[in-house]
Amino acid sequence: MNIHNHGGARKGAGRKKNSGNFKEQTKVIRVPISLVDSITPSIEIYKSQVKSGIEVLRVNEDPVKQLIPIFTSRVQAGFPSPADDHLEDTLDLNTHLIHHKEATFFVKAQGESMIGAGIHQGDILIVDKSLSPKSGKIVIAVVDGEFTVKRLHKYKGNITLKAENSEFEDIKIKGTDELIIWGVVTSVIHQYD
Residue 150 annotated in active site:
yes
Known catalytic residue at 162? no
- Which residue has better confidence, 17 or 131? 131
The tens digit of pLDDT for each residue in 141-150 reads 988 888 899 9
Spell out the domain ranges in the chain.
20-53, 102-189
Options 3.40.640.10, 2.70.98.10, 2.10.109.10, 1.10.1270.20; CATH for 102-189 is 2.10.109.10
Q: Which listed residue (34, 73, 129, 150) is catalytic?
A: 150
User: What is the mean predicted confidence (pLDDT) over 133-144?
Assistant: 93
The yes-or-no verdict on residue 3 having pLDDT over 60 is: no
Q: Which residue has the higher pLDDT, 133 or 19?
A: 133
Q: Which of 20-34, 95-109, 121-135, 163-177 has the lowest mean pLDDT?
A: 20-34
Q: Is the pLDDT of residue 137 over 80?
A: yes
Torsion sign over Cα 101, 97, 108, 62: negative
In 3D, which of 162, 111, 115, 152 has the Cα closest to residue 131?
A: 152
pLDDT of residue 69: 72
- Kindly report the average pLDDT of the chain as a whole number: 79
Place 121 in a pLDDT band, splitting at 50, 70 and 90: very high
pLDDT tens by residue, 63-87 = 667 677 776 656 666 565 555 556 6
9 pLDDT more than 80: no
Residue 61 has a pLDDT of 63
Span of 10-14, 52-56, 118-122, 177-181 with lowest mean pLDDT: 52-56
Q: Give the active site residue among 34, 48, 113, 156.
A: 113
